[in-house]
Structure 1
């Protein structure tokens, strides 16, 4: 979670906004890895 701290310091976002972005990014990464796994299984 180091990048969250850097993003907070540099981006001027509130902790809440940063967390929302973090969750969205995480969801995207999970969705991508699921898609890749599904693609490899075929």
Structure 2
């Protein structure tokens, strides 16, 4: 029983990590797209 519980906790932690990572990646993606747009605007 304890092993299963521990596994669930680990899975939850991993899912949380992935979610956090995904969120930061999305934010990074948004800012980089904005920066590229700004660069493109200044070039044209």
TM-score (norm 1): 0.67
Show structure 1 runs of 4+ deviating over 3 A: none
Q: Which has the higher contact order (CA 8 A, sep 6+)?
A: 1
User: What is the RMSD computed on CA atoms of the aligned residues?
Assistant: 1.2
| Greater percentage in helix | 2
TM-score (norm 2): 0.64
Q: Which has the larger radius of gyration?
A: 2
Aligned length: 30
5+ residue gaps, structure 2: 32-44
5+ residue gaps, structure 1: 1-12
